[in-house]
Structure 1
Amino acid sequence: LKSNGVPSAAARLARLPVVRTACGKLWLLYADAKRSHPNLRTVCEALEESVAALGTVASVGVSPVLVQLEPHSEFRPPVSTANDVACKSLDWLEATFPVLHTPTEQVNISLPLLKPHSSSERDRDHCGSL
């Protein structure tokens, strides 16, 4: 939650089951790749440390400015405006696609298994629609 009680768009997005599942699968893939390839692990760990350091520096430098700007009603920091737009977009997505709140296991079970078409079936289907 942001200081005004409004959840951040990033937090809302991270709570969606499909996003949680995708992030979990990507994390496992990333961890497996690092474990399997020592050279890749070295590069990834160096990048992770750099990103963490940059994030800390950016957070320390920007936070006081945002705290000072936030209470002033005549000026809305770009971060707040972007969060508001993102939250409204998420409202629309969630209303339009309620399946976003369905656990991914349930979505996987309810989807029919799709049989891939052969190229001749695909060509016939496409030509038939002309």
Structure 2
Amino acid sequence: MNALSHEFDLAHAMMLPPESCGPHELPELGRLCEQWEAVHEAAAAVANLAQLGREAESEQIAKLPLRAAELSGWRFETIARGIDDLAAIMQPGLRALLSLTARGQDTTAAALTLWREFHASRSAIVDLAFDR
């Protein structure tokens, strides 16, 4: 088996956030709020398919987009990217679960797995926003 090689030399690379990141405008906050809400609506549907009740929303979860807007630079960008990633997980996962449900198959175990993945990912995003 051949080892993979690449042309990148990372010996002198520095992984620092760009200094040009600053406060963000309201449209980005609006988009972030919408996406955060949509991800939670998808999670509620997954919880229903996993035969779980609707989760009570904590104050930190409810205020996460506003907290992210208070943060500047790389932290805001990381939170926004985390929410994008979470949406990218939830959308096809929920679509697959709904497809299986339409065929009459039991989706409880798969939905519970997706719910756990959502919960762990969301916890990481909240921890970043609130320095937990």
Same fold by TM-score, threshold 0.5 exceeded?
Answer: no
TM-score (norm 2): 0.34
TM-score (norm 1): 0.34
Which structure has greater helix proportion? 1
Structure showing greater radius of gyration is: 1
